[in-house]
Homo-oligomer: A and B are copies of this chain.
């Protein structure tokens, strides 16, 4: 395992050199110039681009080769590919390597890591950087993507403290603020503040796109629509995987959200102006407070 006094890995394997994996490699290299970064990506064009851009030092064509001799393994593939990639690297892992990931859902990832990693599970540090964009691939990667953003680490029951500290320091070296919470808490929170709005945004655009006169509707869509539906341009594979991985939370939250819509329908149907206004005011005030406390807006 990494020397506790050594803050950064000497040999880092990045599996999935996309927006997140690529940005992590760039930021870590900026912080630790002597790191050697081996990259693997199932998309050969993307992998070559990563090598060409200098995001990685060497490119390999299978995940197992990438992790051999690596003291840190960053799994940055979509949640739905996590199991396949992890299974393929287990036999090649160095006995002291620290393994970490960046998945947007943690329950499914931890369950899978526990099943596949054996004793290396003690050196697995589940993490989730709260960053992203509609664009993906290494060409969208940026050295400062994580600057000022939050990274949530969700320690496992058996996870050792040292790997966790090292992963924390790596993210801090990338400019991120690291916070810890349980796996279940993570999935509950992100199910509501991230996964649910993605489903709702996809559903609105789907609703319009499947009308016979969709073109006219889209023609009159303005800035409110633009903002509301920006996340509906997100990657369908990735959101399929997230929806399935955080299934229980999403089913519960969709049901809860539908109750709010039922309430709105009822208030509109009964022409209850004061209650409608109250509903909107609670939301408006919370949204304004959020803006005031947040540098994102």
How far in angstroms is the closest Cβ of chain B from A84? 14
Taken together, the copies of this chain in the complex come to: 2
- Top 3 nearest A-B pairs (CB, nearest first) are A209-B286, A236-B280, A205-B283
Cβ-defined contact, A236 with B205, below 8 A: no
Q: Mark A197-208, 1 if CB is under 8 A from B, else 0.
A: 111111111111
CB of A284 closer than 8 Å to a CB of B: yes
Q: A192-B217, A205-B286, A231-B228 are in contact. Are A131 and B222 (CB under 8 A)?
A: yes
CB of A271 closer than 8 Å to a CB of B: yes
Q: Mark A271-297, 1 if CB is under 8 A from B, else 0.
A: 101001111111111111111011011
- Interface-facing stretch out of A11-19, A28-36, A49-57, A257-265: A257-265
Cα separation A130 to B226 with both chains bound (whole Å): 13
Cα separation A149 to B192 with both chains bound (whole Å): 34
- A235, A243, A262 pick with most chain B CB within 10 angstroms: A243
How far in angstroms is the closest Cβ of chain B from A245? 10
| A162 proximity list for chain B (CB < 8 A) | none
A residues whose Cβ falls under 8 Å from a Cβ of B: 80, 130-133, 149-150, 152, 189-190, 192-194, 196-210, 214, 216-218, 220-237, 239-241, 243-244, 247, 250-251, 254-258, 260-262, 264-265, 267-269, 271, 273, 276-291, 293-294, 296-297
| A198 proximity list for chain B (CB < 8 A) | 224
| A225 proximity list for chain B (CB < 8 A) | 193-194, 197
Cβ-defined contact, B269 with A244, below 8 A: no
Cβ-defined contact, B280 with A251, below 8 A: no
Select which of B193, B258, B287 is within 8 A of A220 by beta carbon.
Answer: B193
Closest-by-CB residue of B relative to A262 is B258
Closest-by-CB residue of B relative to A130 is B222
Cα separation A256 to B200 with both chains bound (whole Å): 13
12 new A-B contacts at CB < 8 Å, known A224-B231, A239-B280, A247-B271: A194-B224, A197-B228, A200-B261, A202-B280, A205-B283, A206-B283, A221-B290, A223-B296, A226-B296, A228-B228, A251-B268, A255-B265
| A201 proximity list for chain B (CB < 8 A) | 228, 283
Select which of B207, B254, B282 is within 8 A of A265 by beta carbon.
Answer: B254
| A194 proximity list for chain B (CB < 8 A) | 221-222, 224-225
Cβ-defined contact, A207 with B282, below 8 A: no
Closest-by-CB residue of B relative to A256 is B207
Cα separation A290 to B204 with both chains bound (whole Å): 13
How far in angstroms is the closest Cβ of chain B from A114? 20
